[in-house]
Structures are given as C-alpha cells and as structure tokens.
Copies of this chain bind each other. A is one copy, B any other.
Amino acid sequence: MDAEVRRYIEAHFNEAVKDLERICNQPSVSAQGLGIAECADLVKRMLEETGISAHLLAAPGGPPAVFGEIRGASARTLLVYDHFDVQPPEPLELWQTPPFNLSVRDGCAYARGVSDDKGNLVARLHAIRAWLKVKGRLPCSLQYIVEGEEEIGSPHMGAFMGQHRSLFKADFCIWEGGGVNSQGRPQIILGCKGIVYLELEAKGTGHDAHSSYGAVVPNAAWRLAWALRTIKGPDERVRIRGFYDRVRRPTRVELAALRRLPDETEADLRGWGLKGFLKDVRGYTYRKRHLLEPSCSICGIEGGYTGKGTKTVIPAAARAKIDFRLVPDQRPEEVVEGLKAHLAEHGFGDIQVRDPGGHSPPARTPITSPWVKVVGETAKEVYSGPPEVSPTAAGSGPMAYFRQLGLDVIMGVGAGYPESRIHSPNENIRLDDFRRAVLHTAALLERVGRG
C-alpha cells in the first residue's frame, strides 16, 4: 500500500477514534425507533465531511438510508454496505459503562454498535479520507449505502433496492462487518442465510375458560403445540412439503473451504453450556450443518397463565414466534406459502400466520470470485496470518438484494474479533483491530483502482 497513505492513517488515528465516539454516542436503536433520523443525518454529514456526496433516500414507509458516491482515479467502483442502527442496549445493568457513551480502556473501545456496525463504517470512511487528504482523490470510484433497519431484518431493503436500483453501478461490494478469528487471521465470509420470521396464533374459546372444561372445549395452547409438532419433529427435519427442494448442493470448493476452517466445536459447546450439538455433529460436520443447512427455530411461545403458582385456566389464545433460516436457493415467499398450505393440510387451517416484519432471501457469493482473491491479498498487507475464507455466515442480512444487482458481495475488511459481544452488553472492538480495518480498506481501494 502507498506509504504516504499508511503514514497518514497512523498519524491521524485519533481522529478516527473521535469519529467513532461521535457516532457511537448517537443512539440509533431501530427496534425502539430511537434516534434513527438523527443518526441518518449524522452519517450523511460524516460522509460529506469525508468528501463523499451524500443523499438521504428511502423506500415508501421506510426510514432514511444514506447513499453516497465519489468518483476516483479509476472507473472501477467499490460499493460498501453498512448500517447505522444498533441492537437495543438492554439489559443496561450489565454494562460497565453507559452503552451510548464510548469508553476506551485497555486498548478497547466499548459502546453499543461499536463493532456492529459503526466501527466498520468509521474505519472505511477514514481510509477514504486518508486517500483524499494525501492524494486528492481515491484510487477507485466508490458508492456507499448505509441503512438504518438492519437490526430489525431490513424490512424495507427489498423495496428500496427495487426503487433505487438504477443508482447502483459498482464492480463488487464490501459487506457490513468482518474482523479476525481467535488466531488473529482475517475473516472473509461470502454469504448470508435468508430469514423468514413469522407469528403463529391459535385460538380456542372466546375468553380463557376454567380448566374444568378441559374435556369439552378446545385449548389454544394444545392446538399450537400440535401444529408446531407437524412443522418439525425431534428428527429436526422441517416437514413443510418441498422445503428442501431448492437447497443448493454445496460446491466442492465450498466444502473444501469449510474443511479448512478452524475447529471451534469444544469452545462453542462450552459457550452454550452443552455436552453435544444436535445430531452429534462436530468439527467439519458441525460447520457444515451450522452454515449450509436451513433451520426452523421457535423464538418464543406463550399462552395462558405463566405467573407464579397455579391457575386452572384454558388459554383462549396461544402464540409462537418462529424463524426459518434459509440457504440458497430457498425462497422466503415459498416458505410462507408452504407453511400455510402445510397447516391447512394437517388440520390446522385455523392457526393464523402473520408476518411481523418482512424477510430476506439467502445469498452466497462464489468462492471462486476474483474479488475474494483481491480482498485476501490486500488483507495480507495488514494482517500476519492468511485469511480464513468461509462460504457463508450462519446469520442473515439483506445481502441478496445486492447479489441481485449481479455483484459479488464479500463480508470482511472489518474491526471485529470473537469477543466483540455484538448484540450483548459491553460490545467492544480492539483499537488495534480498528486501525487494521482502516489500513485494509485503504489497501483495498488502491488495489481496486489498479484493476
């Protein structure tokens, strides 16, 4: 990488930390509708201060996202996706310092969102700033999209991309997060699972009934339990007809990449307080099942009396929240329709299925993409170990809408590490990782420009 640019980054690192503080101290909790508009304005300002032309755009009914653009020396264009919203900070009492007041101690910066995803956003902006300050222009062109609903499942991103598709003209896309694994090797992750989140509601009597009527009146909680059992049984296989039909077989290259990933079985089991995983998977089979197979989880269930002691009541209603995690090429709409048809076929057509917040399709970029090589090689300029390449993350995100532009989308070039505690109290990044993320981005910009 250009030595002047590297020197500028090292010399002005404190400015990056200051910007990190500025954005982390602005609450932006999408689930609670807290500070979203304010944070969108701040992001727009920060892009503009960096030298990027920025606009607030929205889909009908959605909050603003920030779209930025800047021409560089080359017409080759990097698209960056980040989000400025964060998870709710609760439970507050577990934070050592307030979640919306960045605290630097022992080489780490603590704040809600500092890893997911504000740290990456600021690191990338400071790499851009360094090039502009030192050279007056970027080595390549750049587009930036920063949304404010990622933490609630990006419910408007499909419509947003439908509406603003023509704005996006890029060669590939750097996605949201990234960082290092427990051995300090940079991670490159090439996909997201899709997600469908649904609420099921069973109804019985018009109001809660005395349970002495248990032999004669329908019980909503029983109906819900029975309906759920038809969706998935102890064999862990989803029974909706055709659910697995579109599951794409992993390529040999993907499986080979999966084999090379480090074995986290024991550490993960300890983390979850488990003696074994479902189906007794371990090592490679654990990674394969975790990353490449779809799942169906009950996220919450409730009905009737759940307080202390006894109350003899037949619940008038019972509800479950469930999610399906999808892998390419499963389609969210087909899963929703398939579930409804399944319930009707199994005698549970009375159970209402509600979609509380949109869903996103799965997405995966081929490991053979030339851009994977580009990101990996530029990582070597900053990190000591070779990059760890994973075919996909287990988590979900709106990556598919960008894949639909024909772009290779690569997650990496970020400031996270295994102890970042994203979504949890005391979320943090190490400042050394943050510096490396700035440097890696700067190296990537140079390399993209070079072609």
Contact = CB atoms under 8 A, between A and B. Distances in A.
B226 A290 contact: no
A152 B301 contact: no
Interface in A235-289: 236, 272-274, 277-279, 281, 286, 289
Contacts of A300: 221, 303-307, 311, 313, 315
B301 A221 contact: yes
A403 to B, nearest CB: 19
Interface stretch (A169-177, A201-209, A436-444): A201-209
Contacts of A207: 272-273
A285 B184 CA distance: 72
A382 interface: no
Interface in A293-329: 293-307, 309-315, 318-321, 323, 325
A394 B315 CA distance: 18
Contacts of A233: 226
B310 A197 contact: yes
Given A153-B310, A299-B305, A299-B314, A278 B323 contact: no
A216 B289 contact: yes
A298 B221 contact: yes
A70 interface: no
A interface, how many residues as a size bin?
Answer: 35 or more
A222 interface: yes
A313 B295 contact: no
Nearest to A286: B216
Given A212-B325, A300-B307, A301-B302, 6 more contacts: A211-B295, A212-B395, A214-B297, A300-B306, A306-B319, A310-B357
23 contacts: A197-B312, A205-B274, A206-B272, A210-B423, A212-B393, A212-B395, A214-B297, A215-B295, A216-B279, A217-B277, A222-B232, A299-B312, A299-B313, A299-B315, A300-B306, A300-B307, A300-B315, A302-B302, A306-B319, A306-B321, A309-B357, A310-B357, A312-B396
Closest 10 CB pairs of A and B: A206-B273, A214-B295, A300-B304, A221-B298, A214-B297, A215-B295, A300-B305, A212-B394, A302-B306, A229-B229
